[in-house]
Chain A
């Protein structure tokens, strides 16, 4: 435990030197009398995946929506590439927990919808969408409608839509919580290759400790009422390892245990 703690300390110092893509400083959010977030500060290194992990009601989705520009913070600032966030922007793309697909639109139109809203011409946006549909492994389903797809395939459509607008920052709100266990594992492996291959910054909300440790370069542990960052953990050693053996790696198991030990008293 002590050893791990010092390990975490040194990792935080190295993170401070890294290139920061998104920085959240002193953000508070109140809903009437309820304090959802209080004075929260956090930095997201470029090209890495940062998880927001915490028990339900800890404000992790609220924080993600503030970064997305979908919610306004009561006070504090969010900077993306040094520019203050005032609303949704082309530099960020969102992946939704419930997929948020248009049920009346084909896979093709759904994937191209982000580009459609940005005014990209039809032939051009369909060519781009075609490429990302193939990337997520849905070639041949372009004309299908969402209700004809499985949950996992629907989220692949949501992911392709977010990738096709080519934003620097990908915001993912519990993207795998509505798909089955086996699909989720496949998604997690795919996500690791995506982080390695695309030069994007990922901000990933999850309530699964194992998932966070498996996919993250940096895990921010959020504690509830009002939310604050209680700890930042960087499982750096795991990122060098083969994705198929991570789950039985001693470091993986230690970190999962440590996070659970720190969270268990907050789970009702």
Chain B
């Protein structure tokens, strides 16, 4: 009973990886390697530098796209939540963006922006931004009205009401939008490397599959999942640090 939540995390990982290992031995398919084979391939790629080089490529559109989505998404979300005109102007765009089948739009993006970094950044943004905007706007609109009245009754200016009441009150939902948006952004980054030009991690996945090195393919997929989970945990730490009293505990703890 050292740390129950940590113990449960290990147990859950053990069950999933155990099931993977067993499924690989049955085997479910020739193209499905065991967990241990995949980990061996992962170690090999890590040590010969292939994985590092791949991530340098993949993280470029990912980091730029997520940064743009977070900054623009939260800003636009705040405006749409605070102002009805902005809401009518912008909300439909992001609802359509969220509902649109992205894979079908990729050829259009390539036609307009070519096969370089710009198109890939766009794919990440299209995946990540709508949920950030819509969550932020919804959270702002749902600020408890008595908190806003409290601010006004103590003569807060409009700016103070926004910065000292509305934004902190909305922060848990803004952060949950960020978490969803960033995980969608990871999907977008890999999707763009599979659909536009094979670079980085997408290249490892495509190339390994073409030469039937399935262990490497699964190792690459596994590594991107681990990276996404680590990043989301970091985000949660940042949130806890910034808005301590808001924390009521998340499921991932």
How many of chain A's residues touch chain B, expressed as a range?
20 to 34
| Bitwise interface map of A from 72 to 88 toward B, beta carbon under 8 Å scored 1, else 0 | 00000000000000001
Known: A96-B150, A100-B146, A102-B147. A118 touches B155 (CB 8 A): yes
B149 x A90 contact (CB < 8 A): no
B246 x A117 contact (CB < 8 A): no
Binds B, one of A12-20, A103-111, A179-187, A235-243: A103-111
Within the complex, what minimum Cβ distance (angstroms) separates B10 from chain A? 30
Q: How far is the CA of A113 from the CA of B153 in the complex (A)?
A: 11
- Chain B residues 136 to 168 lying within 8 A of chain A, measured CB to CB, are 144, 146-147, 149-156, 160, 164-165, 168
B153 x A68 contact (CB < 8 A): yes
Q: Of A97, A105, A116, A147, which one neighbours B248 at CB under 8 angstroms?
A: A147
Known: A113-B154, A118-B154. A104 touches B147 (CB 8 A): no
Q: Of A96, A102, A103, A106, which one neighbours B149 at CB under 8 angstroms?
A: A96
- Chain A residues contacting B160 (CB-CB under 8 Å) are 117
Q: A92 at interface (Cβ–Cβ under 8 A)?
A: yes
Within the complex, what minimum Cβ distance (angstroms) separates B239 from chain A? 11
- Chain A residues contacting B164 (CB-CB under 8 Å) are 113, 116-117
Within the complex, what minimum Cβ distance (angstroms) separates A99 from chain B? 8
Q: How far is the CA of A104 from the CA of B166 in the complex (A)?
A: 12
A147 x B245 contact (CB < 8 A): yes
- Chain B residues contacting A142 (CB-CB under 8 Å) are none
Q: B86 at interface (Cβ–Cβ under 8 A)?
A: no
- Chain A residues contacting B243 (CB-CB under 8 Å) are 104
B245 x A105 contact (CB < 8 A): yes
Within the complex, what minimum Cβ distance (angstroms) separates A65 from chain B? 8
Q: How far is the CA of A100 from the CA of B146 in the complex (A)?
A: 6
Tell me if A's interface is mostly helix, strand, loop or mixed.
loop
Q: How far is the CA of A88 from the CA of B144 in the complex (A)?
A: 19
- Chain B residues contacting A106 (CB-CB under 8 Å) are 245
Q: A114 at interface (Cβ–Cβ under 8 A)?
A: yes
Known: A89-B155, A117-B155, A165-B154. A96 touches B245 (CB 8 A): no
Q: A98 at interface (Cβ–Cβ under 8 A)?
A: yes
Q: A141 at interface (Cβ–Cβ under 8 A)?
A: no
- Chain A residues 97 to 138 lying within 8 A of chain B, measured CB to CB, are 97-98, 100, 102-106, 113-114, 116-118
Q: A176 at interface (Cβ–Cβ under 8 A)?
A: no
Q: A94 at interface (Cβ–Cβ under 8 A)?
A: yes
Q: B253 at interface (Cβ–Cβ under 8 A)?
A: no
Q: B48 at interface (Cβ–Cβ under 8 A)?
A: no
- Chain A residues contacting B171 (CB-CB under 8 Å) are 104
Q: How far is the CA of A113 from the CA of B171 in the complex (A)?
A: 19
Known: A88-B154, A118-B154. A98 touches B146 (CB 8 A): yes
| Residue in A104, A114, A118 whose Cβ sees the most chain B Cβ within 10 Å | A104
- Chain B residues contacting A118 (CB-CB under 8 Å) are 154-155
B151 x A117 contact (CB < 8 A): yes
- Chain B residues 143 to 199 lying within 8 A of chain A, measured CB to CB, are 144, 146-147, 149-156, 160, 164-165, 168-169, 171
The chain A residue sitting closest to B149, CB to CB, is A70
Within the complex, what minimum Cβ distance (angstroms) separates A1 from chain B? 40
B156 x A104 contact (CB < 8 A): no
Within the complex, what minimum Cβ distance (angstroms) separates B148 from chain A? 9
Q: How far is the CA of A98 from the CA of B150 in the complex (A)?
A: 11
Within the complex, what minimum Cβ distance (angstroms) separates B139 from chain A? 13
B245 x A104 contact (CB < 8 A): yes
Q: How far is the CA of A70 from the CA of B155 in the complex (A)?
A: 10
- Chain B residues contacting A114 (CB-CB under 8 Å) are 154
A70 x B168 contact (CB < 8 A): no
Q: A252 at interface (Cβ–Cβ under 8 A)?
A: no
Q: How far is the CA of A116 from the CA of B144 in the complex (A)?
A: 20
Within the complex, what minimum Cβ distance (angstroms) separates B129 from chain A? 26
B245 x A94 contact (CB < 8 A): no
Q: A152 at interface (Cβ–Cβ under 8 A)?
A: no
A103 x B245 contact (CB < 8 A): yes
Q: A205 at interface (Cβ–Cβ under 8 A)?
A: no
The chain A residue sitting closest to B148, CB to CB, is A100
Q: How far is the CA of A173 from the CA of B150 in the complex (A)?
A: 12
8 sample A-B contacts, Cβ–Cβ < 8 Å, listed by A number: A65-B149, A88-B155, A97-B146, A100-B147, A102-B147, A102-B168, A114-B154, A145-B244
The 3 closest A-B pairs by CB, nearest first: A100-B150, A104-B245, A145-B245
Given A88-B152, A100-B149, A102-B169, 20 additional A-B pairs, CB 8 A: A65-B149, A70-B149, A88-B153, A88-B155, A93-B153, A93-B154, A94-B150, A94-B153, A96-B146, A98-B144, A98-B146, A100-B146, A102-B147, A102-B165, A104-B245, A116-B164, A117-B155, A117-B160, A118-B154, A145-B244
